[in-house]
């Protein structure tokens, strides 16, 4: 120890006096050890502070990076949520549109069924009228045949006639009327097969003739009535159509 820390004397000189202090090896060793300890503690503390500073800086950077990653993921989730919401709204709109189309189709189907029932009823009315007309034609034909047979047996005049010439003229008139009735019957039969019936209405007092057409197509019944002469019919055609329409509606409601 004396080799490394020899005894030393430290002189303290003033203006009036001179003193010295003797530093023994043990004292020097203690002082050196204390200084070394202080220096070592300072170095260690500085290192610890530096490491802590570096570590905290890295931790903050890592925290910032984690925050950025979390924010990106949060933005991605929000974007996906908005996209799913838009898809849900679009699906809801398509569903509502499909419901509206189904409602329209159901309404059209109900209207078509109603028109079909009306057409069937109208066709039934036409067939009933046709059968009645055929029956009346057959009755008139039987009466004409009976009248012809009666005329062929003798010269008995037709009730209300005064001579055989009048009987012959009446027979010709009835024959022509029957032929016209048969022709009209055939025309009505042909028109009924095509869903179209034509007829002529004649006024009582002046004998004005109005053409009437009834057409059944697409489940609907169409009425037409037109006067042949004159400028104004005074509502006769409209009244005739209204009466025919009311008759068919009454038949439908039964």
Rg (the chain; Cα; Å) = 63
153 pLDDT exceeds 70?
no
Among all chains, which residue has been given the structure tokens 């109603």?
Answer: 114
* CA diameter of the chain: 203
Choice between 102 and 120, residue whose per-residue pLDDT is larger = 102
Residue 95 has pLDDT above 80, yes or no: yes
Confidence of residue 61 (pLDDT cuts 50, 70, 90): confident
- Residue ranges of the alpha helices (H) in the chain? 25-153, 164-194, 236-252
* Long-range CB contact pairs, 37-41, < 8 A, 24+: none
Which residues sit opposite 199 in a β-bridge? 212
The residue among 204, 205, 197, 201 whose CA lies nearest residue 228 is: 201
Contact predicate 118/252, CB 8 Å: yes
Of the pLDDT bands very low, low, confident and very high (cuts 50, 70, 90), residue 90 is very high
Query: 195-216 as b/e, with b when 16 or more CB fall inside 10 Å?
Result: bebeeeeeeeeeeeebebebbb
Spacing of C-alpha 174 from chain mean position: 63
Whether residue 88 has pLDDT greater than 90: yes
Element (H, E) at 6: none
pLDDT of 210 reads: 81
Where do the domains of the chain lie?
196-254
pLDDT in tens, 31-53: 888 888 999 999 998 888 888 77
> Which pTM value belongs to this model?
0.30
């Amino acid at each position: 120890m004396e080799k490394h820390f020899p005894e030393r004397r430290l002189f303290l000189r003033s203006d009036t006096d001179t003193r010295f202090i003797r530093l023994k090896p043990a004292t020097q060793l203690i002082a050196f050890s204390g200084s070394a300890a202080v220096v070592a503690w300072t170095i260690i503390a500085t290192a610890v502070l530096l490491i802590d500073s570096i570590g905290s800086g890295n931790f903050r950077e890592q925290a910032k990076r984690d925050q950025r990653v979390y924010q990106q993921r949060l933005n991605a989730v929000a974007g996906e949520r908005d996209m799913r919401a838009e898809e849900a709204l679009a699906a809801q709109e398509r569903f509502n549109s499909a419901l509206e189309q189904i409602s329209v189709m159901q309404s059209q189907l109900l209207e078509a069924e109603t028109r079909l029932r009306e057409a069937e009823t109208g066709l039934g009315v036409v067939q009933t009228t046709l059968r009645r007309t055929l029956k009346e034609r057959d009755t008139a034909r039987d009466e004409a045949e009976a009248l012809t047979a009666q005329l062929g047996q003798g010269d008995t005049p037709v009730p209300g006639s005064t001579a055989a010439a009048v009987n012959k003229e009446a027979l010709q008139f009835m024959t022509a009327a029957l032929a016209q009735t048969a022709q009209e019957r055939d025309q009505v039969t042909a028109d009924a097969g095509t869903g179209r019936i034509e007829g002529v209405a004649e006024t009582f007092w002046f004998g004005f003739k109005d053409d009437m057409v009834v057409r059944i197509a697409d489940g609907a019944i169409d009425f037409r009535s037109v006067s042949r002469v004159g400028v104004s019919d005074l509502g006769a055609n409209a009244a005739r159509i209204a009466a025919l329409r009311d008759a068919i509606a009454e038949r439908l409601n039964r």
